Structure 1
Amino acid sequence: MADHCSPTFDQLASALGFSCQEAGGLVEVRNPLALENWTLPVLELTIVLGSVLALVVAIVRMRRMGDPTNLVLWFGATAYLFIIEPPLYFPAAFGIEDHVDTMFAHNVFTVEFLWGRLPLYIISIYPLMATMAFEIVRMLGVFRRYGVLAGAVCVGFVHHAFYEIFDHLGPQLRWWEWSTENPINQPLFDSVPLPSVVVFAVLWPMSLAFCVQFFVGRHVDEGRRFSGPELVWRTVVIGVLASLGTFILPLPATVFGMGSTTARAVLYAAELLVVTVVAIWILVRQWMRLRGEKDGPTYTNHFVQRYGVVYLSVMALLWATALPDYFGAVDGVTDNGDPVGNLWYTLACFAVAVLCVVATFTVPRRNTAGSDIASAEAPATTGP
């Protein structure tokens, strides 16, 4: 699709080792053993498998217990992806090329869509990450105890921890390439644009979680059941509103920091700090409260607990194999010319993610049908 090979994307694709002009079609399948390096198929398998399993668990939960929250979350995250990402891949096709240049390019993976722009694992990572973060917060009973907004803030914080482990490793292993000259990507936090660290790692999952819990989750907790058409329109609304939230929530940085990269950095960091402080206070306080009770929440998602361990283990392995080149980097660039992320920040995110997963194992649980496929304590009712 040479007509859509902008100079920036063509340059990024070349840096990643493939040609924009020759990049597949609407759908393309490649040999996983012939990708850029061995980490690409490992990452792809981990994310796609996890996302499929999350979808299966969500379907089973809805069919057995009448709780569609996880299913709406999964499809809401996917809807968000298809609203947000295509304009970033094809600015000219959407008439925004004068305002938004190509921000990044993904490397080519085993399964690709949209002429080398959209790997299957990227479609999968949105609902998988959202599910893990949302369910950890849900298992700790934060939504029930503190409400929709506080729960959403905690989801954004937990998602950030899981996502930044991946975000700071990708450029070094050539999973994608950032357009570092693009003003939208400024300022950079080592190899990662600070807007990615804040907007895509914190604010969009926070926005999504708020919408899911507001439109579906809180009603399910009260015992309500939804019809098929109700779930469809609510899922669409969630995807749209979560997208709007991604535009609205970072406005302090994007508006007041418009004329200064430094001001923008300070404001992004301030938003991240506020979310972090609030979430840590709520999560620690709630965990300590649950530890002091004989009977904790009725809800447990064993899939998220176990796959959280799998995800963190795979990421730890990938990071470990990348460390020799990381420590050999000069001025933040490896001998292969790849930028490195921030190891100390990644270690902090690892610590938070591990503690969050461990927390779900260490709170007492009531011996009910609440594991994986159970939900609200109240009997189900049907409402308008």
Structure 2
Amino acid sequence: MDHTCDSAAERVAEGLGFSCHDANPIVTFRDPFGLENGTMLVLELLIVGGAVFALVHAWRRWRRDGHPVNISLWFASVVYLAVIEPPLYFPGWFGLEEHVGFIFSHNVFTVQFMYDRLPLYIVAFYPALSQLAYEIVRSLGVFARRGPLVGSVAVAFACQVFYEIFDHLGPQLKWWAWNPGNEMINQPALASVPMNSMLLFASVSFGAMTYLVVRLVGPEDGRAAFTGPRIAWRTAVAGAVTPLAMIIVSAPSGAFRGEDRLGIQRAVLGAELAVVWIAGLCLLVDAWRAVRADAAAPAAASPLFARTYPAAYLAVHVVLWLIALPAYFASADGVTEEGTPVGSLWYAALCAAAATAFILVTLRATRSRPAARPVGS
């Protein structure tokens, strides 16, 4: 057995339908029409296309409008991925085997990096989702009215609702699989999704990264004073420091780690997620009121990304959920007839409702603003 495919990784990979042995250490290309199922290609197109769309939008906003926050956030997301993902795939390489163990494995997609552990769509997922949430919140004027900290809290909530629609669907459709033997990290869970992941990866990381980028590269309410290399190193710092926020927020539940304390951990994580929801919903209602009163910040010079990609992201995931529902309802004890674990339908539906509200308020906001107002004011 080689050092990139231990017994736990081998079991999870076999459950997904591939072998982790003899994988290419750099990159592997596969037939996009020969993947485990057709939903995987749809997911790749949605996420990779979204990341490219986000990059074009961020570049235009920087070069045309003089605002580097979008482009900085895009690349900070990639830096964050480079810092956080390798230890999750290969904990033994970083001396973390006893502390975190083997957590999960992605399935093999069209383009795969790092011994088949890192799909291209995951590289694209972080910048696509960070831009999606940030552009929604920025378009609603939350940063302009409430400042970087509150704006970043709104981003954390937006990421929660869009991320978890995806997170609770993936295991059933074999996009990835959690290691059931790692109860230390993967428990407690909501259906098939670890609650640690729901809080830390779906909200804390994106909120913290957005706050760091806006503070280091902004201000968001005007043209930045930094250009070129200074933006680059500040972007790298924002992405690299983001995991520290995740460690801090994980401390309350981590203090009660242990199989006999799962109930306490669940309560702590549930309370933290409730704070994200309560704060996020309050900010969403506040944004709606501001839009109705025409008091929100003016729309971006090119709001096309905020007006189209979030809706496309949600629509595609709704279709994928509809495809998955027959097997979901035929499942027994949380496992489908194909042996894949199901997510939480009620939580995904709640997230879809909140995501829909974000989209509708954003469409109202970007339609109702006078075009003559100065950009970024």
Whole-Å Cα distance in 2 between the matches of residues 220 and 100 of structure 1? Answer: 37
Q: Separation in 2 of the partners of 1:369 and 1:89?
A: 48
Q: Does the CA contact (< 8 Å) of 2:143 and 2:220 recur in 1? A: no
2:178 counterpart letter in structure 1: W
| SS of residue paired to 2:91 | coil
2:334 to 328, 332, 335: 332
Gaps of 5+ in 2: none
Does residue 131 of structure 1 match 2:135? Answer: no
* Residue in 1 that maps onto 2:189: 188
Could you tell me how far 1:22 is from its partner in structure 2? 3.4
2:306 corresponds to: 304
1:1-384 aligned within 5 A: 2-182=2-182, 183-217=184-218, 219-257=219-257, 260-293=261-294, 297-299=298-300, 301-363=303-365, 364-368=368-372, 375-377=375-377
TM superposition shift of 1:290:
2.3
Contact 2:192 2:342 in 1 (8 A): yes
Deviation for aligned residue 1:75: 0.5
Q: Distance in 1 between the 2:50 and 2:290 partners?
A: 31
The DSSP-based 3-state class of the residue aligned with 2:199 is helix
Counterpart-to-counterpart distance in 1, 2:229 and 2:139: 28
1:336-369 Cα deviation digits (max 9, x unpaired): 0011111111111111001101101112212137
In the TM superposition, residue 223 of structure 1 has moved relative to its aligned partner by 2.9
Q: Which moved more, 1:85-94 or 1:297-306?
A: 297-306
Partner amino acid, structure 2, of 1:206: G
CA distance in structure 1 between the aligned counterparts of 2:311 and 2:85, rounded to whole angstroms = 29
Mark the runs of 5 or more structure 1 residues left unpaired by the alignment: 378-384
Residue 331 of structure 1 aligns to a residue in which SS? coil
Displaced runs of 4+ in structure 1, greater than 4 A? 256-259
Helix, strand or coil at the partner of 1:226: coil
For residue 320 of structure 1, what is the amino acid of its counterpart? L
Cα displacement (A) at 1:222: 3.2
- 1:267-326 alpha-carbon deviations (Å, 9 max, x no partner): 111111112111211220222122112775243622122011111111011111111101
CA RMSD of aligned residues (A): 1.6
For the Cα contact (< 8 Å) 2:141–2:296, is it kept in 1?
A: no
For 1:381, the equivalent position in structure 2 comes to none
> 2 CA distance for matches of 1:287 and 1:309?
18
**Counterpart-to-counterpart distance in 1, 2:62 and 2:84:** 27
Deviation at residue 376 of structure 1 after TM alignment: 2.0
What is the distance in 2 between the residues matched to 1:226 and 1:325? 52
Aligned pair count? 372
Task: Give, in angstroms, the shift of residue 257 of structure 1.
Answer: 4.9
Give the partner amino acid of 1:297.
Answer: P
The structure-2 alpha-carbon separation of the partners of 1:132 and 1:101, relative to structure 1 and needing over 3 Å to count, comes to same
Distance in 2, Cα, partners of 1:310 & 1:224: 31
Distance in 1 between residues matched to 2:168 and 2:252, nearest whole Å? 25
> Residue 3 of structure 2 aligns to a residue in which SS?
helix
Would the alpha carbon gap of residues 275 and 220 (structure 1) be closer, same or farther in structure 2, given more than 3 Å must change? closer
Aligned-residue sequence identity (percent) comes to 44
Using a 3 Å threshold, how does the CA distance of structure 1 residues 273 and 78 change in structure 2: closer, same or farther? same
Supply the distance in 2 between the matched residues of 1:252 and 1:365 (Cα, whole angstroms).
43
Q: Does structure 1 conserve the Cα–Cα contact (< 8 Å) formed by 2:144 and 2:297?
A: no
Q: Identify the range of structure 1 (106-115 vs 199-208) with the bigger mean alpha-carbon deviation.
A: 199-208
Alignment check: 8 A CA contact 1:204 1:243 kept: yes
Give the CA deviation at 1:247: 1.2
| Deviation (angstroms), 1:220 | 4.2
In the alignment, residue 282 of structure 1 is paired with which amino acid? Answer: L
Kept in 2, the 8 Å contact 1:295–1:366? The answer is: no
Tell me the SS of whatever aligns to 2:132.
helix
Q: Give secondary structure in 2 for the equivalent of 1:36.
A: coil
**Alignment CA distance shift 1:156-1:72 (3 Å):** same
- 1:110-131 deviations in whole A, cap 9, x for unaligned? 0000011000000000111111
Partner Cα separation in structure 2 for residue 338 and residue 24 of structure 1: 27
In structure 2, the residue corresponding to 1:5 is in which secondary structure?
Answer: coil
